[in-house]
Amino acid sequence: MRIYSRILGTGSYLPAKRMTNADLAAELAQQGVETSDNWIVERTGIRARHFAADEQGCSDLATEASRRALDAAGLAAQDIDLIIVGTSTPDMVFPSVATMVQHKLGAAGCPAFDVQAVCSGFIYALTIADAMIQTGSSKRALVIGAEVFSRILDFKDRTTCVLFGDGAGAVVLEASDTPGILATDLHADGKYKDILCVPGHVNRGGILGDPVLKMDGQAVFKLAVGVLEETARASLAKANLTDADIDWLIPHQANIRIMQSTAKKLKMPADKVVVTVDQHGNTSAASIPLALDTAVRDGRIQRGQTLMLEGVGGGFTWGSVLLRY
Ligand code: ACO
């Protein structure tokens, strides 16, 4: 009999500091950088984002989201036998955020590691956890997407700094004989490295290269819309389902126009797409579990419904997870 992984509980965390577009525009203006609420809303759909406090690291956000997911699942940290974190903004070069979360939750012993697939990080992490549950090596996994992108933004570059925010989302997965995750689909193509990257890195005690986010927005836009449709269709085909079977589309929250274009290609009406980009901005690997938790907690997503989660990010990486909630 096939073993499935089912979502037992979800949780998320946003840092307290909320910046509306007007707040950000006022702050940027002091540095001579001009932007406006109008421009940001029109091109991206973003109205506000949250930024972590100076003393908060990625692992702090991830730990809070995990506590909430464990509470929702009715479990303690000691019940978990696997922790995977999708992130590109870890507290340190090493050790991983996952081991820090494990310790902060008061647990020890189970495997814990990070996955680096940028905005597809949560989709990658969920797929790996699902595979480990299917092989029997894990029974209850904590899967997290957590980011502090504010640490890698260039606040003099208005084409990128208005797009991103900080946050974390988590799910508890459990082995089950009923679905569960129905299909997963992952891809990457390294030739697109330069259209979205943070080229700087630690080298001999200093930073070599520019350690802030660089993006060719139009190239990213075109690529994202195409691959998101392909991966959604691939997961549907693997599960012998069609787009008509999807109750909720939960895409990576980068930009409302990318999400609308993808939804149109999948013939999903706008009210079946979970949108949080307006309030969270783009939180990279955290965006999908944040959106999922938001729609679970406000009662839109119900048990037994079919969800399509899909992400795309630097690398380029992309993928989807089709599941019965
Ligand atoms: N405020 C005001 N004006 C701005 C801003 C800003 N924040 N940013 C750029 N502009 C100006 C530009 O300077 C330019 O002015 P010019 O015509 O005088 O030169 C004008 O606006 C148009 O700039 P474009 O870059 O052509 O704007 P575009 O319509 O392409 O929108 C955007 C830019 C929103 C980034 C778009 O390309 C996009 O949505 N790309 C997708 C990228 C994305 O969402 N990335 C997220 C990360 S990737 C991921 O998560 C997968």
* Structure confidence by residue, pLDDT tens digits, 256-286: 999 999 999 999 999 999 999 999 999 999 9
CATH number of residue 280's parent domain: 3.40.47.10
Judgement on whether residues 54 and 110 belong to the same structural domain of the protein = yes
Whole-number pLDDT of residue 1: 82
Q: 76 and 22 in one domain?
A: yes
8 Å CB contact between 324 and 198: no
The residue out of 110, 144, 176 marking a domain boundary is: 176
Ligand 1 pocket mutation pick from 23, 34, 159 by most atoms within 8 angstroms of CB: 159
> 114: closest CA among 151, 141, 145, 153?
145
pLDDT range class, residue 317, cuts 50, 70, 90? very high
Q: Residue 229 is encoded by which pair of tokens?
A: 């449709």
Of 176, 208, 230, the position where a domain reaches its end is 176
Q: Does 189 lie in the same domain as 162?
A: no
Does residue 41 register a pLDDT over 90? yes
Query: In Å, what is the CA distance from 157 to each residue of 13, 33, 152, 207, 282?
Result: 27, 8, 12, 20, 16
Residue 37: CB within 6 Å of ligand 1? no
User: Where a domain ends, among 126, 154, 176?
Assistant: 176
> How many angstroms separate the alpha carbon of residue 135 from the centre of ligand 1?
44
Task: Using alpha carbons, select from 294, 321, 280 the residue that is nearest to residue 68.
Answer: 294
Shared domain for 185 and 234, answered yes or no, is yes
- The tally of domains found in the chain comes to 2
Give the separation between CA 165 and CA 149, rounded to whole angstroms: 6
**Are 145 and 262 members of one domain?**
no
Residue 12 has pLDDT above 90, yes or no: yes
Residues 156, 20 within the same domain: yes
Query: How crowded is residue 313: how many other Cβ atoms within 10 Å of its Cβ?
Result: 28
- In the predicted structure, residue 131 carries a pLDDT above the cut 90: yes
> Is ligand 1 within 6 A of the CB of residue 287?
no
| Pair 197, 289 in one domain | yes
Could you tell me the residue range of the domain that residue 161 belongs to? 4-176
- Could you tell me if 185 and 121 lie in one domain? no
218 lines ligand 1 (CB under 6 A): yes
Q: What are phi and psi of 230, to 5 degrees?
A: -60, -45
For 197, other C-beta atoms within 10 Å of its C-beta total 17
C-beta separation of 8 from 68 below 8 A = no
Query: pLDDT over 90 for what percent of the chain?
Result: 99
Mutate-to-test residue for ligand 1 from 214, 216, 223, 255, highest number of ligand atoms within 8 A of CB: 255
Tell me the residue type at 265. K
CA pair distance 287, 221, nearest whole angstrom: 17
